A and B are shown apart, each in its own frame.
Chain A
């Protein structure tokens, strides 16, 4: 069971969190301008890397805030936790 450091609440057990998948997927500005292929890419295609993965977590049983984590998908070590506002800025 992972130990995840919520940027607002501190380190908590994984069971307090829910997982949100790959981070950095920006919703297209004008979906209607996209081809079906481009839309499918946004909708379904994922990097799914073996190694470092930037991903979203929600402290759903705590402060309910979403944030990002950089986690190794093999060792499960979390190298970095980032808030989304500072990152998207």
Chain B
């Protein structure tokens, strides 16, 4: 059933067959398979189409470097777009679809793009689609049709994610031989070790190859080591966990594929030391049509054989410039495939393996190259030619050998990604033909193949040494006697660079030689970019899209840079590597977001009376993080009707408002007066105990920053309120001044916003209501005048009682311990029935205050309004300095045409102006029409029977009575008249009753 599946071996579970579907066709695989290994087991060769030229593509790799098998997996809300088949663990019923190819994967109409590919050279779109000018949007619509690979899911994600914070002494990234050895060694010191590996099983290359450790299969050593590690309390093992980000201050992020209650978990790890042992990536070789299905990384072929018991071809050819692929030849032979030849570009090679390969009867073709292949949707032949090492030679006289698999190895590139993310330098090693980690800038140690140690023996030693150093750097003593496992010694023949197979015709005309498979970046594109002056590696990458695929250049970047270096005639190290940024491999938005989505996106702050408001039918609005009652509609009542009722009832009898969200700050200390004098604009010292004042705070730029009532509770004790949204910022700002500028002042600030709840009772019957529920202090104005505060008991509960008013009515504000607030609210509502007490929300509060011309900071001010603009000159003390005072005498602050707060009435007495409407003198003026202000607040006043508005108008204070036009729609305007901003009870008599 699975034609390429081997009878024995591999780490798959043959007792657990799994069904899956690819492009609608049913297949079988086993537990332990990846989608890629299962597809290969079923001899599925064509898995995708390239992005630009729509060329047919097969699986080329076995891990994060895979550029071709980009799949849409599963459906509906569970869909996962763009996953690599090599990284998808097979599950029963899995549905996979290729993401490119139209009308079908096998026949893609886009093959035309390939036929005419010389027109679609690098950067072609910068050179055309410009005429006629309006047509770009049509061209673009067409271009966009071919955008993307997979589709976003159609519904909200039904699965959840979480963040977990962790601290450790040593984080080991990568659980291959070096990582396991490092973890084991570091753990022996007692260090808290966290080992993360992206695979299901730890072991890395030891599971991919037929290597022996301690004279047993490598997998046996892995089993023992993992078992030993899992018994240690100081070690955390995270499999299926990719370290994707190495950030500042040794902070690393890991995404874990989870089997428990969440889909994925983002670990946020602060590590004292980090060991990077992420291994290396094998490079392709660059020859004509090297992207055809059936051409794979040699190491991937070995991995499929050894780990998954899948032999991806029957008749294979090895093409290499280094020794590692010789093992693949032996693996293939052992798996029963025919190995038609090992084609080695070197004059001699294979090291210890050469003899074994020869013994196995595999023909060794030294000094040969594969120049091209036959076959479209799958290779049928390799074109092989003799080569004498001349890069500029034109190769002829190719022989063609039939094959269905080419296992290629262009050498190895150390995975320096995390090292580089951490700010480390990379240096080019000529002997290894790889970048290796250079100078570090964080607490980092690279080990193993990621450190350029290719041989297993060196890997283990390097891992051991890294573990020792890391533990020691943490101040711990590892057990030095830890025996290094024994591996058979091998000798190797050095790699010889082969960055590009010399072409059969010149490199600009020969069939395409691919560097970046996903984006179809070819040797000819790099050469074109250089010819056109794009010479910096960053320009070349951006112009040709090299490395911009979803494999982020893991497969092709080094080859691309080498070809660039060759074209520029520079050494590769001078071309430079590009900076690596997180993420190492793509990571889901969900994992990065963690649990803070949906209702947990931002905490909702609710007042102590919230549930009462809800059962009273309140509609809420978001104010900062708070949910505040906006209005309290009766059944079927509109916003306007409810607000009109709430306002009228308040002015006629009594209304009740939950004002708990106001910021509240308790200020105490011998220097409280001195401090507040510098903060507020008015004379604080003049206030007698028990008195309140309206206070404004300015920024140092002289602009109104916040306002509120402040009260003097005692000589050295004040209580301030701030706006709801400004509470936290004001407290932090006060602390800033106190701690950084005036540390000599003996003052303490405490936020009491949550400690106290505030109930405002307003209206002519408010005093009667307070009296009715039982108040132990006299409330009359002679004893408790307007703008004062008293400690009192209401209904036997201790409260701070304020005689203040934001509605202009006789009003009280009750500050009460939040635990008693809901009870007090209920008592007031019950007692208020006799007065038809009316709860009102923020909207009615806004109307009531606007009728009195009171501002809302943030609505009637916008950070560019001074107190003078608000006609609050009387609040600016001449006798002292205060924050922002100096800015009020800057030339611009003194202009008399500044935008100033005024009232506005629509001339027809009916139109409610739009909040935000702009004011102009001449609506018929030509565009741009000069604007002289805007409407900041606008309401229908049910008490006055006509609409009112507040506005900021240039020079407004001296323009009372003048006419303007307020914009109301696309081209319509409403004539308005500038008035004094106090519309109701102009003499302020009611609040003083």
A residues apposed to B, CB below 8 Å: 1-3, 13, 18, 20, 23, 26-28, 30-32, 34, 36, 39, 43, 56, 58, 60, 64-66, 75-76, 84-85, 88
B270 & A64 in contact (Cβ 8 Å cutoff):
no
A27 & B741 in contact (Cβ 8 Å cutoff):
yes
B248 & A76 in contact (Cβ 8 Å cutoff):
yes
Indicate if B740 sits at the interface (CB-CB under 8 A). Answer: yes
Q: Smallest distance from the beta carbon of B792 to chain A beta carbons, Å? A: 31
Contacts of B739 in A (CB 8 A): 65-66, 84
* 26 A-B pairs whose Cβ atoms sit less than 8 Å apart in the complex: A1-B247, A1-B248, A1-B268, A3-B251, A13-B165, A18-B732, A20-B740, A23-B740, A26-B741, A30-B881, A31-B881, A34-B886, A36-B890, A36-B891, A39-B890, A56-B740, A58-B732, A60-B732, A64-B735, A65-B739, A66-B739, A75-B423, A75-B441, A76-B248, A85-B743, A88-B743
Bound-complex Cα distance A3 to B270 (A): 9
Q: Smallest distance from the beta carbon of A34 to chain B beta carbons, Å? A: 7
Contacts of A43 in B (CB 8 A): 700-701, 887
Indicate if B682 sits at the interface (CB-CB under 8 A). Answer: no
Q: Smallest distance from the beta carbon of B824 to chain A beta carbons, Å? A: 30
Contacts of A28 in B (CB 8 A): 886
Q: Mark B871-906, 1 if CB is under 8 A from A, else 0.
A: 000000000010001110111000000000000000
Indicate if B249 sits at the interface (CB-CB under 8 A). Answer: yes
A3 & B887 in contact (Cβ 8 Å cutoff):
no
Q: Nearest CB to that of A23 among chain B residues?
A: B740
B886 & A32 in contact (Cβ 8 Å cutoff):
yes
Q: Nearest CB to that of B885 among chain A residues?
A: A31
Q: Nearest CB to that of A39 among chain B residues?
A: B886
Q: Smallest distance from the beta carbon of B539 to chain A beta carbons, Å? A: 24
Q: Given A3-B251, A31-B885, A36-B891, are A84 and B736 also a contact pair (CB < 8 Å)?
A: no
Bound-complex Cα distance A85 to B735 (A): 14
Q: Given A32-B886, A76-B249, are A66 and B270 also a contact pair (CB < 8 Å)?
A: no
Contacts of A27 in B (CB 8 A): 741
B residues apposed to A, CB below 8 Å: 165, 247-251, 268, 270, 423, 441, 700-701, 732, 735-736, 739-741, 743, 881, 885-887, 889-891
Bound-complex Cα distance A28 to B739 (A): 16
Q: Nearest CB to that of A75 among chain B residues?
A: B441
Contacts of B740 in A (CB 8 A): 20, 23, 56, 66, 84
Contacts of B889 in A (CB 8 A): 32
Q: Smallest distance from the beta carbon of A32 to chain B beta carbons, Å? A: 6
Q: Smallest distance from the beta carbon of A88 to chain B beta carbons, Å? A: 7
Bound-complex Cα distance A6 to B743 (A): 18
Q: Given A31-B885, A43-B887, A84-B743, are A66 and B249 also a contact pair (CB < 8 Å)?
A: no
Q: Smallest distance from the beta carbon of B932 to chain A beta carbons, Å? A: 26
Task: State which of B270, B732, B885 has its C-beta within 8 Å of the C-beta of A13.
Answer: B270
Bound-complex Cα distance A26 to B740 (A): 9
Bound-complex Cα distance A31 to B740 (A): 18
Contacts of B741 in A (CB 8 A): 26-27
Q: Smallest distance from the beta carbon of A51 to chain B beta carbons, Å? A: 15
A58 & B248 in contact (Cβ 8 Å cutoff):
no
Contacts of B248 in A (CB 8 A): 1-2, 76
Q: Nearest CB to that of A65 among chain B residues?
A: B739
Q: Smallest distance from the beta carbon of B729 to chain A beta carbons, Å? A: 10
Known: A56-B736, A66-B739. 8 other contacts (CB 8 A): A1-B268, A20-B740, A31-B885, A32-B881, A34-B886, A39-B890, A43-B700, A64-B735
Bound-complex Cα distance A8 to B15 (A): 60
Q: Smallest distance from the beta carbon of B812 to chain A beta carbons, Å? A: 32
Contacts of A60 in B (CB 8 A): 732
Contacts of B251 in A (CB 8 A): 1, 3
Q: Smallest distance from the beta carbon of A73 to chain B beta carbons, Å? A: 12
A-B pairs with lowest CB-CB distance, top 10: A31-B886, A3-B249, A66-B739, A76-B248, A1-B251, A66-B740, A2-B249, A27-B741, A39-B886, A85-B743
Point out which of A3, A31, A36 has the most chain B C-beta atoms below 10 A from its C-beta: A31
Q: Smallest distance from the beta carbon of B246 to chain A beta carbons, Å? A: 12
Q: Smallest distance from the beta carbon of A53 to chain B beta carbons, Å? A: 15
Contacts of A75 in B (CB 8 A): 423, 441
Contacts of A58 in B (CB 8 A): 732, 735-736
Q: Smallest distance from the beta carbon of B702 to chain A beta carbons, Å? A: 9
Bound-complex Cα distance A39 to B743 (A): 23
Q: Smallest distance from the beta carbon of B591 to chain A beta carbons, Å? A: 16
Bound-complex Cα distance A66 to B881 (A): 24
Bound-complex Cα distance A26 to B737 (A): 11
Bound-complex Cα distance A29 to B165 (A): 46
Q: Nearest CB to that of A74 among chain B residues?
A: B423
Point out which of B251, B740, B743, B889 has the most chain A C-beta atoms below 10 A from its C-beta: B740
Q: Nearest CB to that of B699 among chain A residues?
A: A43
Q: Smallest distance from the beta carbon of B73 to chain A beta carbons, Å? A: 32
Q: Smallest distance from the beta carbon of B667 to chain A beta carbons, Å? A: 15
Q: Smallest distance from the beta carbon of B655 to chain A beta carbons, Å? A: 37
Q: Smallest distance from the beta carbon of A81 to chain B beta carbons, Å? A: 13
Q: Smallest distance from the beta carbon of A69 to chain B beta carbons, Å? A: 12
Contacts of A84 in B (CB 8 A): 739-740, 743
Bound-complex Cα distance A75 to B251 (A): 14
Q: Smallest distance from the beta carbon of B909 to chain A beta carbons, Å? A: 45
Q: Nearest CB to that of A78 among chain B residues?
A: B249
Q: Nearest CB to that of A76 among chain B residues?
A: B248
Contacts of A1 in B (CB 8 A): 247-249, 251, 268
Contacts of A56 in B (CB 8 A): 736, 740
Q: Nearest CB to that of B700 among chain A residues?
A: A43
Bound-complex Cα distance A65 to B886 (A): 28
Q: Smallest distance from the beta carbon of B372 to chain A beta carbons, Å? A: 49
Bound-complex Cα distance A29 to B455 (A): 70
Q: Nearest CB to that of B881 among chain A residues?
A: A31
Q: Smallest distance from the beta carbon of A84 to chain B beta carbons, Å? A: 5
Contacts of A23 in B (CB 8 A): 740
Q: Nearest CB to that of B742 among chain A residues?
A: A27
Bound-complex Cα distance A60 to B886 (A): 29
Q: Nearest CB to that of B249 among chain A residues?
A: A3
Bound-complex Cα distance A13 to B249 (A): 10
Bound-complex Cα distance A26 to B881 (A): 15
Point out which of A13, A27, A75, A76 has the most chain B C-beta atoms below 10 A from its C-beta: A27
